[in-house]
C-alpha cells in the first residue's frame, strides 16, 4: 500500500483530504520544474520587472502548473465531487491568467479572451457532471481552445505555455469529474 498523508484542512482545496506522498511530490515537482524551465527559456519575462511583480507572477504560474496535475488526483477530484459549491467557487476565482498578464505587462487582451473562454467552458463542463457526455464535451472544448491559442497574434511563448496549462487545469483537469462522482471513494481504493 502506498503511503498516504492526511492533508491539513487549509490545503483540502489543493490536495483533498488524504493524498499519496508520491502524488504530492509529483505535483510539486511538475510545478517547480515547469516554472523553472519557463524562466530559464524566457528570462526576459521578468528581467525588467520589480522583484515583487516577478515573484507574484511566478507564484501564480507555479499554481497553474501544479494545480493542473493536482486536479487529476483521486483525492482532489473526489473532494470536489462531494462539494459542488466549492467547485463553482474554485472555477469563479480563477483569474490567474489575467493577473499574470497584468503583472508581466504582456498580452492582457489575449489573457482576457483565454480566461473568458476557459471559465465559460468550465461552467458548461461542470453543468454536465454525472452525464455521460461530460468527458466528450470537455475534450471538445479543450481541443477547440488549444487549437485556437497559437493563432492569437503576438502571444509570447511563455504566455502560450501558461495559457495552455491554465486551460487544461480549469476546463479539463478540474471541471471534469474523472472518477465518476464517487465522493466517498477512498484514496487507494480501486474497487
Taking only the tens place, the pLDDT of each residue in 73-126 is 888 888 888 888 888 998 999 999 999 999 999 999 999 999 999 999 999 999
C-alpha cell at 190: 480501486
Residue 114, CA distances (Å) to 85, 101, 117 in order: 24, 11, 5
CA separation for the pair 103, 56 (Å, rounded): 8
Lowest mean pLDDT among 7-11, 31-35, 145-149, 186-190: 186-190
Other CB atoms within a 10 A radius of the CB of residue 32 amount to: 13
pLDDT band at 189 (very low <50, low <70, confident <90, very high): very low
Give the helix ranges, DSSP H, for 71-178: 74-81, 84-92, 96-104, 108-126, 134-148, 157-167
Other CB atoms within a 10 A radius of the CB of residue 38 amount to: 22
| pTM for the model | 0.89
* CA of residue 47 relative to chain centroid, distance: 26
Would you say 65 and 96 are in contact if contact means Cβ atoms under 8 Å apart? no
Amino acid at each position: 500500500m502506498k503511503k498516504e498523508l492526511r492533508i491539513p484542512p487549509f490545503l483540502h482545496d489543493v490536495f483533498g483530504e488524504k493524498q499519496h506522498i508520491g502524488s504530492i511530490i509529483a505535483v510539486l515537482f511538475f510545478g517547480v520544474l515547469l516554472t523553472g524551465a519557463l524562466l530559464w527559456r524566457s528570462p526576459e519575462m521578468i528581467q525588467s520587472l520589480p522583484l515583487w511583480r516577478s515573484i507574484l507572477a511566478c507564484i501564480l504560474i507555479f499554481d497553474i502548473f501544479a494545480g493542473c496535475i493536482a486536479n487529476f488526483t483521486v483525492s482532489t477530484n473526489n473532494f470536489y465531487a462531494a462539494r459542488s459549491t466549492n467547485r463553482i467557487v474554485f472555477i469563479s476565482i480563477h483569474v490567474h491568467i489575467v493577473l499574470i498578464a497584468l503583472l508581466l505587462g504582456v498580452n492582457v487582451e489575449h489573457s482576457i479572451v483565454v480566461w473568458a473562454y476557459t471559465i465559460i467552458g468550465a461552467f458548461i463542463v461542470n453543468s454536465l457532471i454525472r452525464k455521460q457526455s461530460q468527458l466528450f464535451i470537455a475534450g471538445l472544448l479543450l481541443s477547440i481552445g488549444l487549437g485556437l491559442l497559437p493563432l492569437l497574434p503576438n502571444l509570447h511563448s511563455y504566455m502560450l505555455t501558461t495559457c495552455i496549462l491554465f486551460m487544461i487545469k480549469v476546463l479539463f483537469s478540474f471541471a471534469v469529474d474523472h472518477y465518476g462522482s464517487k465522493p466517498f471513494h477512498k484514496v487507494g481504493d480501486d474497487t
